[in-house]
A and B are shown apart, each in its own frame.
Chain A
Amino acid sequence: MTRERVGSLIFFAAGVYGLFFSLQLPVGKWNEPGPGVFPLALSSLLSLSGVLWFIQGKSKGSQEGKIDWGRILKNLMTPLQIAGLTAAFIVALQPVGYLAASFLYLLVLFFWVSRYRPWTALGLAALFGVGSWLFFERLLGVQLPAGLFPL
């Protein structure tokens, strides 16, 4: 499987999605184009691009642009950890509050992902968690959720 093939499938899928939903929109008339015209045209072009790119990908040498799934899976762990932790931060932000959520988020990132020792991770999380709260809320006036610890 090459990058071109994967890319072509993504574009084709996006194009088909766009086509399906833009056909439900009114296209209007030539002298008064409706809201469906532009998305319909774009979706068609996107689907066509996907098909053409797929065909072009087939014509290239079998090794050119080939995806190294082993390397990708090997490198996937850290991005997955970060994405998962960020999702947890987003969910916890309003109920728990920014100060607590950012401290915990940074603590887990520094300890689990950056692999610092527990006390180092704790110190860095406290420094940057509180520091960011002071910077954004107090200095820049951004309204951050107070959650469990209104200050």
Chain B
Amino acid sequence: MDVLANIYNGFHTALTLQNIYLCFIGCLWGTVVGVLPGIGPLAGITLLIPATFGLDATGSIIMLAGIYYGAMYGGSTTSILMNIPGESASVVTCIDGYQMTLKGRGGAALFISAWGSWIGGTLSVIGLMLLAPVLANFAMKFGPAEMFSVLLVAFILLGSLGTGSFFKTMPMIFLGLLIGAIGMDPLTATLRFTHGVKELYDGIGFLPVAMGLLGIGEVLSSTKESLVKIVHKVRIRELLPTREELRASWGPIFRGSGIGFFIGLLPGSAHILSSFVSYMVEKRLAQRPEEFGKGRIEGVAAPETANNAATGGAMIPFLGLGIPTGPPAAVMMIALLIHGIRPGPLLISQQPQLFWGLIASMYIGNLILVILNLPLVGIFVNLLRVPFRILFPIILLICLVGTYSVNSSIFELGVLLGFGVVGYIFRELKFDLPPFILAMILGNPMEVAFRQTLMRSGGSFSIFWESPIALTLIVVAGLLFLWNLFRSLKVFVVSWMKALEEG
């Protein structure tokens, strides 16, 4: 009954004219960035953070969340119509979606994609609504030892499930944690790695780093690519699927919702992973799996549902624990921190309007997106005709003004450009960027938790195994580490043997 009362209040908050407008803007911009290759949801959210400065925290998070799940809808459009994923989670949709377009069933694929996304998104919001308060209540019992252990597991999971190998992702995490240590020590106010530069006393700002790595770095990398494409047209009357296609989609949609939601809880590339896993599950369950890859509707329904359902799952640790497990949540955390709000176990009790208003807005947003992505699909497809050589200067300008608008600091613009160059180099070397950003944001809380734990215990590490929660989490972290070590050693030994054979 509490949940019902809370969600009622949430709708009360979300259904104000301003918040509906902000939700619409977020969904619209999210669909645009999802459609446009070269600008992903990360960059899309980052670019709009400065636009939230004049808004309250509730309105800001409503708009930014709209971009997040909106991009998942938009990304399928180019996957289906052009065989180009608008964003990384829509890669799998290309496989069967484009084949359906070539058979003249592109409209039906778009419909099922939007329909599945709506169902997956809505079911995952229900899951978020029910589970986040439970997790937050549980986390209220956490002390510094438990908090450190949770973060340790989160980072090790991130390394295990990230796009690169574990031992390639972990150095990026260490580097992010180290960069996060620049500035004044939170416990003793000792200056670290500032070299007398007073602008570094408060540390390196998250926003210029995120905008640099994701915005400017993305532009620098993308300018070498050509954007000449064939765009297939779809008429409104071709949008409707047949009864058989609708019937065939139900199972994948419901299975995809569950798969996406639970994978969304895990750190790492939840959207990409959920869409792949969902596709593979449907292929395994199909009576004629050899037809996958040739235009099966299940090959569109499952991954698109899963990647949208992952959004709700990903919001649970972010809102309930204050741990963003994915890059979009990390960037939304930056926005909330700028507004003076720290997500975590106390968020739901201290900011119920924000939490329940956000939940309600996600129901509304999912509905808006179905409307935007079906009858208006032609408009979004036309965006692809805008050459990247017009778009990229605008993106650069938005990054620059956005960063400047926070503190009017030329130094921060320098940080933005510096990390833009770093982001370009990292992309050329195929390093995984999101773990770096996550580590930078979570580094200070992790360090504070660790040091406070030892202060409480008088320097004894036994405090970690005296707490059942901390002990369990540390054992999990240890097992994950050993598993990754075993996997990497196996590869290492095989490659050494190969190198020896080659002489």
Binding site for B on A (CB under 8 A): 3, 6-7, 10-11, 14-15, 18, 21-22, 25-26, 29-35, 37-39, 42-43, 45-46, 49-50, 52-53, 56, 58-61, 72, 75, 78-79, 82-83, 86-87, 89-90, 93-94, 98, 102, 105-106, 109-110, 113-116, 124, 128, 132, 136, 140-145
Closest CB of chain B to A39's CB: distance in Å? 5
Question: With A46-B171, A142-B50 given, can you name 12 additional A-B contacts, CB distance below 8 Å?
Answer: A31-B455, A35-B190, A50-B171, A53-B167, A79-B424, A86-B400, A90-B417, A110-B390, A114-B392, A128-B397, A140-B53, A142-B401
Instruction: Identify 20 residue pairs between A and B in the complex whose beta-carbon atoms are under 8 Å apart, listed by A's number.
Output: A3-B430, A33-B454, A35-B185, A38-B181, A38-B447, A39-B193, A53-B171, A75-B224, A83-B420, A90-B400, A90-B410, A90-B413, A90-B414, A113-B223, A132-B401, A140-B54, A141-B54, A142-B401, A142-B404, A143-B405
| Separation of A139 and B345 alpha carbons in the complex (Å) | 36
Task: Collect the chain A residues with CB atoms within 8 Å of residue B168's CB.
Answer: 7, 53
Contact flag A132-B393 (CB < 8 Å), given A11-B171, A46-B178, A142-B50: no
Whether a CB of chain A sits under 8 angstroms from the CB of B451 is yes
- Docked-complex contact A128 and B393, CB < 8 angstroms: yes
Whether a CB of chain A sits under 8 angstroms from the CB of B330 is no
- Docked-complex contact B175 and A140, CB < 8 angstroms: no
Binding site for A on B (CB under 8 A): 50-51, 53-54, 167-168, 170-171, 174-175, 177-178, 181, 185, 187-188, 190, 192-193, 216, 219-221, 223-224, 389-390, 392-394, 396-398, 400-401, 404-405, 408, 410, 413-414, 417, 420-421, 424, 428-431, 447, 450-451, 454-455, 457-460, 492, 495-496, 498-499, 502
Contact flag A59-B192 (CB < 8 Å), given A33-B450, A82-B219: no
| Separation of A56 and B396 alpha carbons in the complex (Å) | 38
- Docked-complex contact A106 and B397, CB < 8 angstroms: yes
| Separation of A122 and B408 alpha carbons in the complex (Å) | 28
| Separation of A72 and B224 alpha carbons in the complex (Å) | 10
Q: Give which listed residue, A37, A87, A116, contacts B451 with CB less than 8 A.
A: A37
| Separation of A60 and B397 alpha carbons in the complex (Å) | 42
- Docked-complex contact A21 and B193, CB < 8 angstroms: yes
| Separation of A32 and B492 alpha carbons in the complex (Å) | 40
| Separation of A10 and B53 alpha carbons in the complex (Å) | 36
Most chain-A CB neighbours within 10 Å: which of B51, B174, B192, B496?
A: B174
| Separation of A106 and B451 alpha carbons in the complex (Å) | 49
Task: Collect the chain B residues with CB atoms within 8 Å of residue A46's CB.
Answer: 171, 174-175, 178
| Separation of A27 and B240 alpha carbons in the complex (Å) | 66
| Separation of A46 and B50 alpha carbons in the complex (Å) | 33
Task: Collect the chain A residues with CB atoms within 8 Å of residue B495's CB.
Answer: 56, 59-61
Most chain-B CB neighbours within 10 Å: which of A3, A46, A53, A102?
A: A46
Q: Give which listed residue, A18, A30, A106, A142, contacts B454 with CB less than 8 A.
A: A30
Task: Collect the chain B residues with CB atoms within 8 Å of residue A37's CB.
Answer: 451
Q: Give which listed residue, B175, B188, B223, B454, contacts A35 with CB less than 8 A.
A: B188
Closest CB of chain B to A45's CB: distance in Å? 5
- Docked-complex contact B404 and A144, CB < 8 angstroms: yes
| Separation of A93 and B397 alpha carbons in the complex (Å) | 12
Q: Give which listed residue, A3, A15, A31, A140, contacts B50 with CB less than 8 A.
A: A140
Task: Collect the chain A residues with CB atoms within 8 Å of residue B216's CB.
Answer: 86
Contact flag A128-B394 (CB < 8 Å), given A93-B404, A93-B413: yes
| Separation of A20 and B429 alpha carbons in the complex (Å) | 26
- Docked-complex contact B190 and A26, CB < 8 angstroms: yes
Closest CB of chain A to B14's CB: distance in Å? 23
- Docked-complex contact B188 and A49, CB < 8 angstroms: no
Closest CB of chain B to A33's CB: distance in Å? 5
- Docked-complex contact A132 and B397, CB < 8 angstroms: yes
- Docked-complex contact A52 and B167, CB < 8 angstroms: yes
| Separation of A58 and B502 alpha carbons in the complex (Å) | 13
Q: Give which listed residue, B51, B174, B410, B459, contacts A30 with CB less than 8 A.
A: B459
Closest CB of chain B to A58's CB: distance in Å? 8
Q: Give which listed residue, B167, B220, B400, B410, contacts A79 with CB less than 8 A.
A: B220
- Docked-complex contact A94 and B410, CB < 8 angstroms: yes
Task: Collect the chain A residues with CB atoms within 8 Å of residue B223's CB.
Answer: 78-79, 82, 113
